Amino acid sequence: MPHDSASKGGIHIAIYHLEAKIISRGAGRSVVAAAAYASCSRLYNDYDGITHDYTRKRGCRYSEIFLSDTAPAQWKDRQTLWEAVETVEKAKNSRLARELIVALPIELELSDWKQILRQFIQEQCTSKGMCADVSIHDTDGHNPHAHILLTVRPLDQAGHWQAKTQKEYLCRRGPEEQAFTAEEFLTAKQDGWEKQYPYQSGKKKVYLTPSEAQNHPDYIRTSKSPKSTRYGRQNPISEVWNSEEQLLCWRKGWEDAVNLSLEQHQLSARIDCRSNADRGLEEQPTIHEGYHARNLEAMGIPSTRCALNRQIKEDNRLLKELKVQIQKLTKALKESIPAIASALESLRSRLITLQYHVLHDTSQQRAISEVLDKAITLVKEYKSVQKKITGKISEKKALQAEKKICSPLKFLQIRQFNQKIAALTEEIEELKSRKAYLLSCLNCHSDSDMKAIQQKIEKMQDTQKRLKDQLVCLNEQKATGTLNFLETKEKISPEDVDAVLEEREKLRPEKMQEVREHLEGTFQSAFRNDMLQKAEKIINSELQETESLHSILHRLHQKETALKRQSRTPKYHKDQER
């Protein structure tokens, strides 16, 4: 499954994905079919007589069975394990297994993924009594993920299946009613609790205890089955496995296992199992942090740095100020040396500020392009997956309709229908998991959110176009300012060059401090000192001031000193030497 990431505080935040779902006969699924599909193998299901063959399916790079301490050793064989599960579950709507689908970090390799999965399975599954069937899928090098099939029925110390639930009898003692298991009732009946049985008198039906029935001879008992709760009492182990707390534990456990491996490999990438709200973030997980666009705030992008509209207004203000500085520069040529130096340094400062904005806008444009490319790709794939799901559901319904009208005596034909329907069911589940991941990448909770995502993409495209147009304008004005600067320097008389340089040297620290304070005020926490240094370096190069003023003056002073020394040195003639 494709990964995206966002940088925050120097840490690379990778996309987190863990999906949990139940494999149930009530949903038309078979755990044998799911295991065969995930492991790309061939398995036979004795429950319905169907052979599920996915040996031609590609993409499974690794599969392994992990057993709990009390599980029989022969369950290391995939066929034996899941056949045992299918056999013990008798009901037509039985919950057969739980499936976890987790995204694997693309920064790591197959051996690392295996280690992460082994650690996670040991700590979160087998140590708690579950057996696990793990398969890693990676078809194109960009979609690594794992399917983890977990047993849902606990085992006792002898390796035998325990009951998922115990029958609870609703017993009465006077006006009180309470539920007891068969074992608990043995003690409870000594305290006066009685089971309730169905009785009927004419059309009236009631539940009565044996002692109450003695006072109503006209009531006839209609069943030997006592009154009980609808679902019974969950096995305490099953209750924990099915709890919300267990799911949270799995989510946190997966985060810890992956981050530990990333840290051991000295990688900055991290995953976070918390939701954006819990992490105190407002931004979409598929959008890099730091976009300065007020019209993108609807997408949840924080505006703590600088809104795009504000930034463009600031750029426009700079352009106007640049024109004013050029006018001052032209006027300064007719005035004193300090005026010329001040005009040159002021123009240089504005050009550096302008160059910083160019670098910043270019960076934002590049980042938005990356996000757009990923978002458009995700939406395109989502539509493709949705189309495939719709097609396969239609195909499945058609097969089910054909099966329904097929003669019950055509056993072979019915079996073929069942095999095709089971295969389609697994393909649909795989596609649904893929769609769920794509929705999570786009920060959508349902299909209905996709329309809003499309609108956000259009807004980002508009923003990208505005940035592009603004960059063209900024670069044109910067070129004009640079040309005026160079022309002004050429017009300075040779006898004034050194004096202008000395004056500019005095003014530069103050001017650069103004530039820094201005940019820090504009960009706030987004201000980058390295970008300012880069902007200054670029402007120095374009203004043909590759040397610092101090270096130029020092070189001129050295040259002047050398000339003075040479003028004071006595001249000797050849005839004097003779």
Q: Side chain identity at 148, as an amino acid letter?
A: I
Same domain, 62 and 22: yes
Q: Side chain identity at 199, as an amino acid letter?
A: Y
Same domain, 220 and 356: no
pLDDT over 90 (residue 69): yes
Same domain, 550 and 464: yes
Residue 376: inside a domain: yes
Same domain, 169 and 154: no
Q: How far is CA 395 from CA 26, 350, 403, 432, in A?
A: 20, 67, 12, 16
Among candidate residues 306, 329, 313, the one with its CA nearest the CA of residue 480: 329
pLDDT at residue 557 in the model: 61
Strands 269-270, 11-14: pairing kind: parallel
Residue 284: inside a domain: no
Percent of the chain with pLDDT over 70: 81
Q: How far is CA 2 from CA 103, 251, 375, 381, 478, in A?
A: 8, 19, 11, 11, 41
pLDDT over 50 (residue 517): yes
The answer to whether the CB of 165 falls within 8 A of the CB of 235 is: yes
Residue 300: inside a domain: no
pLDDT at residue 287 in the model: 31
The answer to whether the CB of 326 falls within 8 A of the CB of 311 is: no
Question: In sequence order, what DSSP letters do the residues of 240-303 get, joined into one string?
Answer: HHTSHHHHHHHHHHHHHHHHHHHHHTT--EE---S-TTTTT--S-TTS-TT---GGGGGGT---
Q: Which helix (H) or strand (E) holds 57?
A: none
Same domain, 41 and 65: yes
pLDDT at residue 271 in the model: 84
**Rg of the chain (C-alpha set):** 39
pLDDT at residue 116 in the model: 95
pLDDT at residue 569 in the model: 56
What are the tens digits of pLDDT across the range 281-320?
A: 433 333 333 333 444 444 444 333 344 455 555 555 655 6
Lowest mean pLDDT segment, chosen from 67-81, 230-244, 348-362, 555-569: 555-569
Rounded-to-integer distance, Cα 490 and Cα 212, Å: 116
Q: Side chain identity at 147, as an amino acid letter?
A: H
What is the average pLDDT across 472-483?
84
What the block records as the tokens of 402 is 């054909």
pLDDT at residue 440 in the model: 82
Cα dihedral across residues 128, 237, 92, 429: positive or negative: negative
pLDDT at residue 124 in the model: 94
The answer to whether the CB of 488 falls within 8 A of the CB of 344 is: yes
What are the tens digits of pLDDT across the range 363-376?
A: 888 888 888 888 88
Rounded-to-integer distance, Cα 348 and Cα 240, Å: 69
- To which residue do tokens 């649909």 refer? 428
Same domain, 137 and 172: no
pLDDT at residue 574 in the model: 43
The answer to whether the CB of 149 falls within 8 A of the CB of 133 is: yes
Same domain, 142 and 181: no
Domain enclosing residue 188, as ranges: 165-234
Residue 124: inside a domain: yes
Residue 74 backbone dihedrals phi, psi, to 5 degrees: -70, -15
What is the average pLDDT across 491-510?
83
What are the tens digits of pLDDT across the range 413-435?
A: 888 888 899 999 999 998 998 88
Residue 412: inside a domain: no
Rounded-to-integer distance, Cα 99 and Cα 34, Å: 9
pLDDT over 80 (residue 543): yes
pLDDT at residue 390 in the model: 93
Question: CA dihedral in degrees (479, 481, 487, 493; nearest 10)?
Answer: -150
What is the average pLDDT across 36-42?
94
Same domain, 181 and 266: no
pLDDT over 70 (residue 172): yes
Q: Model confidence at 335, in pLDDT bands (50, 70, 90)?
A: low
Q: Model confidence at 347, in pLDDT bands (50, 70, 90)?
A: confident
pLDDT over 70 (residue 10): no
Same domain, 32 and 88: yes
Same domain, 353 and 480: yes
pLDDT over 90 (residue 112): yes
What is the average pLDDT across 70-90?
95
Q: What is the 3-state secondary structure (H, E, C) of 187-243?
A: HHHHHCCEECEEEEECCEEEEECHHHHHCCCCCEECCCCCCECCCCEECHHHHHHCC
What are the tens digits of pLDDT across the range 372-411?
A: 888 888 888 899 999 999 999 999 999 989 888 888 878 8
Residue 294: inside a domain: no
pLDDT at residue 268 in the model: 81
pLDDT at residue 281 in the model: 47
Q: Side chain identity at 251, as an amino acid letter?
A: R
pLDDT at residue 14 in the model: 62
- Domain total in the chain: 3
Greater confidence (534 vs 284) lies with 534
Looking at the DSSP assignment, which residues form a beta bridge with residue 66? 132
Percent of the chain with pLDDT over 90: 38
What the block records as the tokens of 110 is 């197959």
pLDDT at residue 444 in the model: 80
pLDDT at residue 503 in the model: 84
How would you list the strands of the sheet with 11-14, edge to edge?
A: 5-8, 11-14, 269-270
Rounded-to-integer distance, Cα 235 and Cα 418, Å: 33
Q: Side chain identity at 277, as an amino acid letter?
A: A
pLDDT at residue 273 in the model: 82
Q: CATH number, domain at 21?
A: 3.30.930.30
Cα dihedral across residues 108, 112, 114, 120: positive or negative: negative
What are the tens digits of pLDDT across the range 117-158?
A: 999 999 999 999 999 999 999 987 777 899 999 999 999 999
pLDDT at residue 289 in the model: 30
Same domain, 215 and 249: no
Same domain, 347 and 374: yes
Rounded-to-integer distance, Cα 431 and Cα 374, Å: 20
Average pLDDT in the chain: 82
The answer to whether the CB of 140 falls within 8 A of the CB of 226 is: no
Rounded-to-integer distance, Cα 469 and Cα 250, Å: 49
Residue 437: inside a domain: no
Q: Model confidence at 279, in pLDDT bands (50, 70, 90)?
A: low
What are the contacts of 533-536 at 24+ separation with CB within 8 A? 534/359, 535/352, 535/353, 535/355, 535/356, 535/358, 535/359, 536/352, 536/355, 536/512
Residue 489: inside a domain: yes
pLDDT at residue 312 in the model: 54
Total residues belonging to the chain: 578
Rounded-to-integer distance, Cα 271 and Cα 285, Å: 11
